[in-house]
Amino acid sequence: MNTLESFLETIAETRKVWLLEAMTGMFAMLEDADGNSYIPVWDAEDKARQAAVDDWSGYDVTEMGFSELIEWLKELSHDEIDIAVAPEKDGEIIAISSSKFRKWLKPMDDQSYHEEPEEGEEDSVSGSDDFDYGEGWAEKW
């Protein structure tokens, strides 16, 4: 089983991912040579903790359930920030489009997390999901 399959299988069972957080709402990020931005996520707390070194030393390991993650991925899609699955120490990642990842997660949403829309915004739970998901959604660096 490859890294992506293992990652997806694990998070489908646990219904959460793990991230590194510098301060409330400020998560670790990666950038490739082309200037594309990624939020790294892990399928287990211990894996995220092992990554909290060097530039990420002092970052807290935090979990995020699917319902919150689905909401957040919509924002990331609009900001053109994608997901880096379990980055390796050598910098190798599996990149997943935020919009495609959201589409994969959406059937597993328990809707336990709900943000009130800001004034003038559409309610993201009951509103339409009109984002163009495009072709392909995971690619290896």
Give all domains of the chain, ordered by start, each with its CATH number: 3-108 (3.40.1350.90)
Structure tokens at 22: 């510098």
Global pTM value? 0.76
Cα separation, 17 vs 103, in Å, equals 16
Q: What is the mean pLDDT of residues 25-45?
A: 93
* DSSP state letters, the chain: --HHHHHHHHHHHH-EEEEEEEETTEE--EE-TT--EEEEEBSSHHHHHHH-SGGGTTPEEEEEEHHHHHHHHHHHHHTTEEEEES--TTS--EEE-HHHHHHHHGGG------PPPPTTPPPTTTS-------S--EEE-
**Which tens digits make up the pLDDT trace of 75-121?**
999 999 999 998 776 778 889 999 999 999 888 877 776 566 566 65
**Which tens digits make up the pLDDT trace of 10-33?**
999 999 999 999 988 899 999 988
Name, in order, each residue with C-beta under 8 angstroms of 59's C-beta and a sequence gap of 6 or more: 20, 21, 22, 28, 52
